Structure 1
């Protein structure tokens, strides 16, 4: 049980009159008695999530390979930090300098939607920089680079990147890192984990291991009063061309959907719109390739079965934050949630 003050209580029984008194005390101190909410930075998504990601929530973020799961997850973390809070990113897939290249280009584009340095431009500049030049000097030679550098410096220790290992970074290490960031910064961080199937566990079978990890991440979200956004891989069968990925396509067991408070699936729009939108207007094919559909297939604290679309800007490692509900009919409209 979590008290209104945000501390895990060791007492399993909570008399209602005591809980009412504690809540009254918290409110009189001017503190929020309910969940803390972290904005995603995407207005349409925040609306569907009744404000954003909530403390105690486990959020599953799935989608086919290469469709932007890591991109939008890292953008969530950046947006949280840009709004003044802290974030902790566990990356089992990418080393920290790869994420830094994305963050630099993302920050440049967030500050100026015009022609600014892309991820490949940043990578080339860092890899070919003259010896002895500072990072600030190198980035100042890129359009938008100086502004991006200043913004990232300003974030300081509020954004932490953890180079995680599928062999050694267990749930215990994740918990310890979350506690360390909380102690160091004075506030609980938004947590992004990329990705859940990589977290090691002693259990032998994959289903048992993923079940244990999902349960552990949900417990962490509750005890630390943080949102945990866990990126999830897809089953190989879900990667076939023309298939719309859904909750039941996440690699693992039904425990993933059961434990999660929110399930978000990212698909390319061109892959999931009904065929009549393509057959009768061939121009839609190219247009739809520039958009992704984010489906809220489960949402315990808001409206589910919501289909939102966001324009891609993968050149700068991001999505455009302006979005709206999809107006076209999508294929496979049935939602599978355990």
Structure 2
């Protein structure tokens, strides 16, 4: 039916040492590798935007490649508006050569205004931003061919040269585009790269994006995203996850994703609704909700986020183990 991937934003309070957060994620990914998780992606954030401690996700992916065996490692996402695409193309190519083809790199067009300001990158309107994003992706694709003709998109001036190193020919087929709009879905489809969705979107939006992607010629993989916590049973799962649910709900209200005048639900199950879209429960409940999401909008990868403020590392590791050992077998999955 579908396989499992992980995304982590390396979140934590600003006064918590980054090395502790990196150590937790390293332990989690090594466990995920042993349990058969297919992908692990890491997000790019600067100056603690969205509480993230990791500005260079490709470095973490490369580091973890030396500590794992099978799991594909990458980024969800590299914010291309903060970088020159030729520099990104070269870094990814080096990482792919060093990891013998285990990179699964995701690219996105956006970042917060605060992050853009750090790099002197003006936040353009959606049309201009997406046009520049599409051009940046074409620069990356051309650089990986090893022979730059000089026919660069107008936003980037790159003289003719021979690009080195040349990565595996299948690298573009292992790359992903973050899709949060019809426009970005068309870009992904035109390139023929895979699609990564945000957990902030509904199944209806997923279907719309998939339709635009396929119409544009996209034939790649689709990864749907959901926060997930698996407990031994529903009651225990909600009791353990409630602090994380409330922390996330309040953060979303503060960030404007939930209207400021919305009253916080007393029932923790109501906290899981859109836009949080959190799946919480025992193995049977989580399996049922993942199956329902897949029926509403088919996908190839269930990209789950398991680390959240309010959950201890031990609880996160237990949840991941239950997901792979108790939930996946209930999915009748062909590719666990």
What range is the shorter-chain TM-score in?
Answer: 0.3 to 0.5
Higher share of residues assigned helix: 2
Higher share of residues assigned strand: 1
Higher normalized contact order (CA 8 Å, seq sep 6+, divided by chain length)? 1
State which structure, 1 or 2, has the greater radius of gyration over its C-alpha atoms. 1
* TM-score, structure 2 as length reference: 0.35
* TM-score, structure 1 as length reference: 0.34
